[in-house]
A and B are shown apart, each in its own frame.
Chain A
Amino acid sequence: MEKQPSKPGSLSRRDFLKVSGITLTVPLVVGPRVLKVAGAEVKVFGPGKVPMTFTINGKTYRAELEPRVTLLDALRNEFDLTGAKRVCDRGTCGACTVLLDGKPVYACSVLAIEAQGRAITTVEGLMQDGKLHPIQQAFVENDALQCGFCTPGFVVACKALLDRIPNPTPEDLVAGLGGNLCRCGTYVGIRAAIAQAARMQRGG
């Protein structure tokens, strides 16, 4: 029996990838189809391009995307918001970390279609009035970056951590940033940067 998604929240990227292989000849469909599944009506989007609307860093963005497109690819390829990086593309390394309603998520593991109607914050949204966020400033001063490819993800993950725990312990750091990886080895700088940013946010 073919599994049908029951609500938008359960759409998985894998299902769309599976479906995509057998639906190449289906004409482009705009707007949802309504199907009955187990007696309930469900809306099915795609497989063609669907109009979508996003709120990113407080601004509205619109695009027509296939439902299988991830939030990460939508940000990078449609809106040229390339701060979030594609590294592992399967929810391991954290380089694509963005905030969804204030919570850190791997943008490679969220479908764009699911991110509609939610407040998306990317690293580009952290600067205010052309001034670096205190966390960003602390990253620069403590040399918490080398090649810099993982850095935007780390900065956003640090923001989420400090928003939640203003004065993190070393254990909090591990829990809050354990999902982000750096190949150049900047963790010493990152630890120092977080400590400085936490002090600054406390007004120290």
Chain B
Amino acid sequence: MAEREAVEMAEYKWPEPGQRRLIGKRVSRVDGPDKVSGRAKYTYDVNRPGMLAGKILHCPHARARIVRLDTSAAEKMPGVKAVLPLKKVGDEILWAGDEVVAVAAVDEPTAEDAIRAIVVEYEKLPHFVLDTDPKAAGERARPTAEQIEGDPDAAFREAEVVAEGLYGMSVITHCCLEPHGAVVEWEGENSVLVHISTQAVSGIAGQMAGPLGVPAGNIRVKQEHIGGGFGSKFGPDSWGIAAARLSKMAGGRPVKIMLERDAELMVAGARPSYYGRVRVGAKRDGTLIAWESETWGTGGIPPTSPLPLPYVLRIPNQRKRHIAIATNSGPARAWRAPLHPQACLLTMAAIDDLAAALRMDPLDLLLKNIELAGERADVYREELQIAAELMEWKKRWHPRGDPSPGPIKRGLGVSIHTWPGRGHACRCDLTIHPDGSVEVKLASQDLGTGTRTAIAIVVADTLGLPLEAVRVRIGDNQYPPAGGSGGSTTIGGVSSAARRAALNALDQFFARVAPLLNAAPDQLEAWDGRIRVKGDPSRSIAWEQACARLDGMPLTVRGENPGPGELTTAGAAGVQMADVSVDIETGIVRINKMVAVQDCGLIINMKAAESQCYGAMIMGISYALYEEKIMDPVTGRMLNPNMEFYKLAGLADIGELVVHMMTGEKYDRRGVIGLGEPPVVSPGAAISNAVANAIGVRVPFLPLTPERVLEALKKGGSHARV
């Protein structure tokens, strides 16, 4: 302890446990009342005076060339204020749903009529949308270089047991409930106001500047609340630029374009599919020694990159090949923990199949090889033990194939995962006003993770004030820049910047107040609404009185991340277990219970951290059992671009969910680590393994639809039984 303090910068560290009044506690989010009352304004809710409704005509064909484009009828319609072709005759369309023409009209019905009045003729070109068979992909399949570590051939010869299997997961979409979109207006010739649904408030102006021919400094970007992003909302996109251009054509009137649900599901973001044939080799005692995988998949255009395989466990002696397939099925986008759920399934399912071949409990197999997880091995070991207790794993686990009579088979599955989650670059300004109120400004965004609340907690705790005393202002690019909310980087970035700002403020504050208390500045601390002398609470001054010493001028200081003192590190580790029931007559999988045990370093808000895990497990149940972007090979179109047939898990589908967050000195001292992605990684693998444990055969692909479950049962387990 003493040694650690000696090497750290004394000034910039997180408070010790006894000095945390709010950090790590269960705090209700500060914007909760606005959200439950309907007062919270999202981009979709922005209604500006004179606002026009923007609509887009989407191409119905997967691949086509435009041979005729006639917008004249739409232009002549009363109420239509601007018609903007986004493609021209001769242009090639690469996926169904691509944007062809945008219009702006006085209201939505008129804009819809105008869209219907546009004539486009296409020359259809051959398309390809299948992703499950690289052989069928022809020239669209591009093998990447083979990667080899150690001597896989010798290792497989040495292996006493080898399991081989086929695994994978389909393309799924982000399905943000607030679709992508923006409300844009020109303020004069050279200045643009943008309300946009985005995960990157600070990044938007720079991306719009070029296309609009306006300096980024003249583009004001605002967003009070955002209705989901999950990795898909980092840019203005063609529809955001179109809204701006339409506004200019319409004399600067605001134009709102929010994607219709079908476009949202077709083109606004998808997680790539990955499939793979995997071999794993081990000694008879379960020691993992060899890995071989050939993977393929697609996110559309551009195609996919190789997966981080084998996942978490660095199995010695590996050979990996990947085939990237380009398809006419829309663009891929980062989806919460990019590449990880796929790599996790391919690895954890293969290890689970190996355990079945070894006739071992997969939990024991993971524990036996946990040193392969490297630096974080001890965390995983501890987490696996806690999860096993919460799931009563040892009491309830049975070898593969539930022998009990009747059509309902029950099984358990386990998986482990990781994610870096180091805080991003972030700046914030903290102002103490002479009346004692405190204001923090930064151009971050609250994706629903509780960012506003986290910032308020850190600042209030540091200044010794109640949560309500701190006003957090985010979602405006005129505030100091903060990184985009992707990769679980936000909490580390904003909390570190806010902590440094608050500590900087105290430094200045203590210098002014110290003479009043007849003490040196470094003897002071902020606690419970007062500035006091450490160890002598009788010598103190109320916060408001101290603020009166500001001579009527607000005190503003800057906090930055990265900066002195390590307040955020990287490498969250987690374990999940699933308990499922499978009806082998109908193929329906039900979740009975899931357990998540998760490390994310120092937790700022326990309530929000748990919510992240619950939410991730539910999103995981959703993609494991229901979600799939289904493409029609004949037309090349998505068959389910709506919410009836693109299925999300509902309240009835989740079973009992248990979350255990790892806390204590060992975790606290790692600083703050992001939590958005890690808990969404394991559900697919844990549920797939639980289903295999229940029915005795592997269902190769997610989602585990009744059809796929019955198909696997009919085949009688081919590869999975080894």
Q: Cβ of B175 < 8 Å from any Cβ of A?
A: yes
Q: Given A145-B36, A184-B448, is A85 in contact with B178 using a C-beta cutoff of 8 Å?
A: yes
Residue of A nearest to B36 (CB): A136
Chain A interfacial residues counted at CB < 8 A: 59
> By the criterion CB–CB under 8 Å, are B40 and A148 in contact?
yes
Q: Cβ of A114 < 8 Å from any Cβ of B?
A: no
Q: How large is the interface on B (under 10, 10 to 19, 20 to 34, 35 or more residues)?
A: 35 or more
Q: Chain A at the B interface: mostly helix, strand, loop or mixed?
A: loop
Alpha-carbon gap, A79 to B610, bound state (A): 37
> By the criterion CB–CB under 8 Å, are B614 and A189 in contact?
yes
Q: CB-CB < 8 A to B175: which residues of A?
A: 183
Q: CB-CB < 8 A to B29: which residues of A?
A: 140, 143, 145
Alpha-carbon gap, A181 to B175, bound state (A): 11
Alpha-carbon gap, A132 to B28, bound state (A): 14
Q: Cβ of A95 < 8 Å from any Cβ of B?
A: yes
| Interface members, chain B 558-612 (any A CB < 8 Å) | 607-608, 610-611
Choose, from A4-12, A32-40, A68-76, the stretch at the interface. A68-76
Alpha-carbon gap, A127 to B644, bound state (A): 32
| Interface members, chain A 59-88 (any B CB < 8 Å) | 66, 68-69, 73, 76-77, 80-88
Q: Cβ of B89 < 8 Å from any Cβ of A?
A: no
> By the criterion CB–CB under 8 Å, are B47 and A146 in contact?
no
Q: Given A123-B37, A143-B607, is A68 in contact with B176 using a C-beta cutoff of 8 Å?
A: no
Choose, from B106-114, B131-139, B354-362, the stretch at the interface. B106-114
> By the criterion CB–CB under 8 Å, are B614 and A188 in contact?
yes
> By the criterion CB–CB under 8 Å, are B28 and A188 in contact?
no
Alpha-carbon gap, A146 to B109, bound state (A): 32
Alpha-carbon gap, A84 to B227, bound state (A): 13
CB distance from A132 to the nearest CB of B (A): 6
Residue of B nearest to A136 (CB): B36
Q: Cβ of A122 < 8 Å from any Cβ of B?
A: yes
Q: CB-CB < 8 A to B614: which residues of A?
A: 185-189
Q: CB-CB < 8 A to B654: which residues of A?
A: 187-188
> By the criterion CB–CB under 8 Å, are A145 and B35 in contact?
yes
Residue of B nearest to A147 (CB): B448
Q: CB-CB < 8 A to B617: which residues of A?
A: 185
CB distance from B651 to the nearest CB of A (A): 5
CB distance from B86 to the nearest CB of A (A): 23
Q: Cβ of B406 < 8 Å from any Cβ of A?
A: no
> By the criterion CB–CB under 8 Å, are A21 and B228 in contact?
no
Q: CB-CB < 8 A to A77: which residues of B?
A: 47, 107-108
Q: Cβ of B650 < 8 Å from any Cβ of A?
A: yes
> By the criterion CB–CB under 8 Å, are B227 and A21 in contact?
no
Residue of B nearest to A23 (CB): B113
CB distance from B354 to the nearest CB of A (A): 31
> By the criterion CB–CB under 8 Å, are A88 and B642 in contact?
yes
| Interface members, chain A 127-159 (any B CB < 8 Å) | 127, 132, 136, 139-141, 143, 145-152, 155
Q: Cβ of B314 < 8 Å from any Cβ of A?
A: no
Residue of A nearest to B77 (CB): A24
Q: CB-CB < 8 A to B607: which residues of A?
A: 143
Q: Cβ of B619 < 8 Å from any Cβ of A?
A: yes
Alpha-carbon gap, A180 to B175, bound state (A): 15
> By the criterion CB–CB under 8 Å, are A152 and B28 in contact?
no
> By the criterion CB–CB under 8 Å, are B650 and A178 in contact?
yes
> By the criterion CB–CB under 8 Å, are B32 and A124 in contact?
no
> By the criterion CB–CB under 8 Å, are A88 and B261 in contact?
yes
Q: CB-CB < 8 A to A92: which residues of B?
A: 642-644
Q: Could you say which of B33, B47, B610 contacts A132, with CB atoms under 8 Å apart? A: B33
CB distance from A182 to the nearest CB of B (A): 8
Q: CB-CB < 8 A to B211: which residues of A?
A: none
Q: CB-CB < 8 A to A84: which residues of B?
A: 38
Q: Cβ of B42 < 8 Å from any Cβ of A?
A: yes
Alpha-carbon gap, A182 to B227, bound state (A): 11
Q: Could you say which of A68, A148, A191 contacts B227, with CB atoms under 8 Å apart? A: A148
CB distance from B187 to the nearest CB of A (A): 21
Given contacts A143-B608, A178-B650, 7 further A-B contacts (CB under 8 A): A21-B116, A77-B47, A82-B41, A82-B45, A85-B227, A148-B36, A182-B177
The 8 closest A-B pairs by CB, nearest first: A83-B38, A185-B618, A149-B227, A147-B448, A185-B615, A148-B35, A140-B32, A82-B45
